[in-house]
């Protein structure tokens, strides 16, 4: 048994009170930890989605630039420049 440094001798039901109190504290800490992990997971997922969106946008921009350069090259060849 864990000693809290509090003399419990002669106090009827005191041990039961502390047992319940500690169980409640542990339960609350587990709930807080679960919420923290859930929030972290949500933030990571959002960050990943934003990163993938950025990568897709960059790829699309590169394709557009390449297409524009190809068109310029084709027109230059056509006009002999």
Kindly tell me if the per-residue pLDDT of 9 is higher than 80: no
The string of DSSP letters for 7-62 reads --TT-TTHHHHHHHHHHHHHHHHHHHHHHHHHHHHHHHHHHHHHHHHHHHHHHHHH
Whole-number percent of the chain with pLDDT over 70: 83
**Which pLDDT belongs to residue 69?**
83
């Amino acid at each position: 048994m864990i000693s809290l440094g509090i003399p419990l001798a002669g106090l009827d039901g005191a041990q039961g009170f502390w047992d319940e109190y500690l169980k409640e504290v542990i339960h609350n800490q587990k709930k807080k930890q679960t919420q923290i992990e859930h929030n972290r997971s949500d933030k990571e997922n959002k960050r990943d989605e934003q990163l993938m969106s950025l990568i897709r946008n960059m790829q699309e921009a590169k394709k557009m630039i390449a297409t524009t350069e190809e068109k310029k090259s084709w027109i230059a060849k056509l006009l002999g420049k």
